Amino acid sequence: MTIGELARKVGVPHSTLRYYERRGLLRPAGRNASNYRVYGPDAVSRLQFVRAAQSSGLSLEDIDTVLAFADGEVAACAEVQSVIESRLEHVQRQVRELREVKRTLERLRESCGESGGDGGCPAIEEFKGQPAPKTPNT
């Protein structure tokens, strides 16, 4: 199938397929008489694998490593496990950071509600790096 047919079948833009090809994640089976890239049926499953791995949080670099294992270029599953563990640590770090952002936003939202509409906004003052004005209730 051509790149257009493959793109339609998998539901991604042509540019994504070309990018994957440049990164070595996808390889055409060859070229047709008009010198267009052609892809075999295995390209669909490979792209589905790439998309599923991306939605699981793996980076394209991680996916490249995992595909090398799947293609038999690396000998041990330990390499794939290492990639997954590294990505998991990264995600856990992001979750901790997002929890902190959530707490900060909730605190700022609360301080805005407590300002009583007196013209000053504690959240804006905090963003400016200034101490928030005291409200009558504090």
Give the amino acid at 130. Q
pTM over 0.85: no
Cβ burial 16-53 (10 Å sphere, 16+ → b, else e):
bbeebeeeebbebeeeeeeeebbbeeebeebbeebeeb
- Average pLDDT, rounded, for the chain: 84
Tens digit of each residue's pLDDT (9 = 90 or more) over 11-24: 999 999 999 999 99
Tens digit of each residue's pLDDT (9 = 90 or more) over 14-56: 999 999 999 999 999 999 888 888 999 899 999 999 999 998 8
Q: What is the arithmetic mean of pLDDT over 63-87?
A: 80
